[in-house]
């Protein structure tokens, strides 16, 4: 038999072995990690934390059972700072029906499902496993991109309404004789949207017995917007030093208006620079071609 044919047969026989070897290596790695965690007594702690977290989910459905099964792995794989950061991002995105452990479990489940399903399809249909590796990576990072998109959309809406909200809040406080709680209730009810909902929640916290500063700081933390955090600090400092709150908010709104004008001018200047290349390529270039081409044709005829 020809040597080249033997080489091709050997390569074809080795291709299905790649996913098998990959899964074997992953299984050995997970088993080694499990033995190490069990030896140090950490896996039992993670399992107990997972059971206690899953117990608070109520009646266990299919989603809760999957989440409870993967929770020990999630707790072992992701440190506390990652879980805290994820929880903060979920709050910024305004997602109330999902916590950090569930979100990280979804990430891990999607990635593992893509790898396992891809390995099975690779063995059955002889598809290169490289594409399923890419699918697993995409399944792992896609929830993060989705979450970041939710955060950006929500924070853009809050930033867009901040100037109007500050001006209206100062007007209502001035008309109400300095009653911040009543002003927050009225403005939040009139304003609506994401910012109005957060303001109403802060007013509810005040009515429940929380200090005004604590309720406002919690609102700023839930939104994660610098402009709102600055407004909260202005209100807290004015309340602390006895400055009229309406005047302090009005001055802050005036500063925001100036900063927005500077930002708009900066964006306009950047737009001019960005439009230079398209103008050269799509307008000036074709125009020069239309002007020069007839003269070039006539000149070539004269030379003949």
Q: Which of 1-15, 208-222, 265-279 has the highest mean pLDDT?
A: 208-222
Q: What is the pLDDT of residue 43?
A: 46
Q: What is the pLDDT of residue 54?
A: 47
Task: Tell me which residue of 38, 69, 66, 63 sits closest to 51, measured CA to CA.
Answer: 69
Query: Please, which residues have CB within 8 angstroms of residue 198's CB and are 6 or more apart in sequence?
Result: 158, 188, 219, 222, 223
Q: What is the pLDDT of residue 28?
A: 47
Q: What is the pLDDT of residue 8?
A: 43
Q: What is the pLDDT of residue 76?
A: 79
pLDDT above 60 (res 149): yes
Q: What is the mean pLDDT of the chain?
A: 79
CA distance 273 to 276: 5
Task: Tell me which residue of 221, 247, 216, 215 sits closest to 233, measured CA to CA.
Answer: 216
CA distance 218 to 205: 9
pLDDT above 80 (res 249): yes
Q: Give per-residue pLDDT as tens, 24-49.
A: 555 544 555 455 555 555 444 444 44
Mean pLDDT of 91-109: 88
| Cα distances (angstroms) measured from residue 82 to each of 100, 136, 210 | 9, 20, 29
Q: Give per-residue pLDDT as tens, 175-191.
A: 877 788 899 999 999 88
Q: What is the pLDDT of residue 6?
A: 43
Q: Which of 14-23, 89-98, 221-230 has the lowest mean pLDDT?
A: 14-23
Q: What is the pLDDT of residue 251?
A: 93
Mean pLDDT of 92-111: 87
Domain ranges of the chain: 18-77, 156-258
């Amino acid at each position: 038999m020809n040597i080249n044919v033997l080489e091709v047969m050997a390569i074809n026989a080795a291709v299905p072995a790649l996913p098998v070897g990959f899964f074997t290596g992953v299984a050995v790695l997970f088993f080694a990690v499990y033995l190490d965690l069990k030896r140090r007594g950490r896996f039992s702690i993670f399992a107990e934390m997972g059971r206690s977290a899953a117990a608070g989910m109520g009646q266990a459905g299919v989603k809760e059972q999957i989440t409870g099964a993967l929770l020990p792995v999630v707790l072992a794989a992701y440190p506390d700072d990652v879980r805290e950061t994820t929880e903060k991002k979920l709050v910024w995105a305004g997602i109330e029906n999902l916590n950090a452990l569930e979100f990280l479990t979804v990430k891990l489940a999607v990635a593992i499902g893509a790898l396992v399903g891809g390995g099975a399809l690779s063995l059955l249909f002889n598809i290169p496993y490289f594409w399923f590796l890419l699918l697993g990576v995409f399944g792992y990072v896609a929830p993060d991109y989705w979450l970041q998109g939710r955060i950006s959309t929500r924070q853009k809406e809050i930033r867009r309404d901040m100037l109007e909200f500050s001006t209206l809040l100062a007007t209502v406080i001035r008309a109400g004789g300095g009653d911040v709680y009543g002003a927050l209730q009225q403005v939040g009810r009139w304003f609506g949207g994401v910012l109005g909902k957060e303001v109403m929640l802060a007013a509810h916290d005040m009515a429940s017995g929380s200090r005004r500063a604590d309720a406002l700081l919690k609102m700023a933390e839930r939104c994660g917007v610098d402009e709102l955090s600055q407004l909260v600090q202005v209100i807290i400092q004015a309340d602390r030093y006895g400055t009229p709150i309406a005047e302090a908010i009005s001055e802050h709104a005036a500063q925001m208006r100036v900063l927005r004008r500077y930002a708009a001018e900066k964006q306009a200047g950047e737009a001019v620079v960005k439009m230079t290349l398209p103008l050269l390529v799509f307008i000036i270039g074709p125009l020069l071609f239309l002007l020069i081409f007839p003269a070039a044709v006539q000149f070539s005829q004269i030379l003949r």
